[in-house]
Structure 1
Amino acid sequence: MILISSCLIGEEVRYDGRHQLNPTLKALVDKGKATAACPELMGGLLIPREPAEIIGGSGVDVWNNTARVVTCSGKDVTEQYKMGAKRFLEICESQNVKTVILKDNSPSCGSDAIYDGTFSGEKLNAPGVTTALLMAHGIQIFNERNFLNQTL
């Protein structure tokens, strides 16, 4: 089974209440080859919500308690991001998921890139909070662009 970020299959769960539909990924779910979940919602965050970025590093640094996830107004949402990541990992473990496709640039799901914590649009080549946790548990991570080159 493959687990996919809910926003990529057309669910309106992004911080701005929108989605990032990828028809190919939606077809995987429709055919029963994949399922979807949103770690940010699983952590208790609402729709819509303020944009958030990792301040002080990457998702790995969040787990090492040297970085935080903060909204654009300064609210610390680190614990919600960690809780969502843990619940997402629980789904992977309970459903024997070995492959996950996540939305890049997200402070939770980013794999190749996340925003740099300045809310300026600049990015870092680093993982988000959920991605870092899944990678530490040996789960194969793709994003909405690089999965196309793989046989799933």
Structure 2
Amino acid sequence: MKKILMSACFLGQKVRYDGQDSLLEHPLIQQWKEEGHIVPFCPEVAGGLPTPRHPAEITTRHPVMVVNLIGEDVTPQFLQGAELAVEKAKEVGACCALLKSRSPSCGNRETYNGNFDGTLVPGSGVTAAELQRHGIPVFNERELDQLVEFMTMQEADVA
């Protein structure tokens, strides 16, 4: 089975902006972890942001700009983390990624609108977009069925 780049917070690592995790307890994730198929990665920490840190949101998409709650531009750290995620995915031969939904880094379908008012808008986070741009499919924790189907097809292609 191929490798899956996974948000480190899903594996219990306390790397979220609030110093917490987003532990994803699912038998298949546990099995893949035990079999060595999971590669944990947090692009925000990899990009140089501390834990805990102020929440951040994407304020503009073209060009991308990410600002935290106190108005600091954290775009460079988000871009660096995205580049490192692509490098890691390529290095380990990851066929896909399982990333945290709605995150300004990892969200693959929607993120918050940049006003810190809880409003969601369509679009990918910085890392998810960069992985997708490099041909690496990104799933979120609400898409485990699709991920399982994708991985089953990957295995069939290998056999």
Is the structural similarity TM-score above 0.5? yes
Find the partner of 1:16 among 15, 18, 41.
18
Q: Which has the larger radius of gyration?
A: 2
Deviation digits for residues 66-118 of structure 1 (CA, Å, limit 9, x no counterpart): 23100010000000000011011101111111210000110000011100000
Query: Which position in structure 2 is the counterpart of 1:119?
Result: 116
- For residues 47 and 39 of structure 2, what CA distance do their matches in structure 1 show? 18
Q: Which consecutive residues of structure 1, in runs of 5 or more, have no partner in the other structure?
A: none
Matches within 5 A, 1:25-104: 25-57=29-61, 61=62, 66-104=63-101
SS in 2 for 1:82: helix
SS in 1 for 2:94: coil
Query: Which position in structure 1 is the counterpart of 2:128?
Result: 131
- For residues 32 and 12 of structure 2, what CA distance do their matches in structure 1 show? 12
Deviation digits for residues 104-142 of structure 1 (CA, Å, limit 9, x no counterpart): 110000011100000000001110000110111000110
Number of residue pairs the alignment of both structures matches: 145
RMSD: 1.2
Query: Which position in structure 1 is the counterpart of 2:157?
Result: none
How far did 1:30 drift?
Answer: 2.7
Alignment CA distance shift 1:125-1:90 (3 Å): same
- For residues 67 and 92 of structure 1, what CA distance do their matches in structure 2 show? 22
Q: Is the 8 A contact 1:105 1:111 kept in 2?
A: yes
Q: What is the one-letter code of the residue matched to 2:9?
A: C
Moved over 6 A (4+): none
TM-score by length of 1: 0.91
Find the partner of 1:106 among 95, 103, 108.
103
Q: What is the one-letter code of the residue matched to 2:131?
A: L
TM-score by length of 2: 0.87
Alignment CA distance shift 1:38-1:26 (3 Å): farther
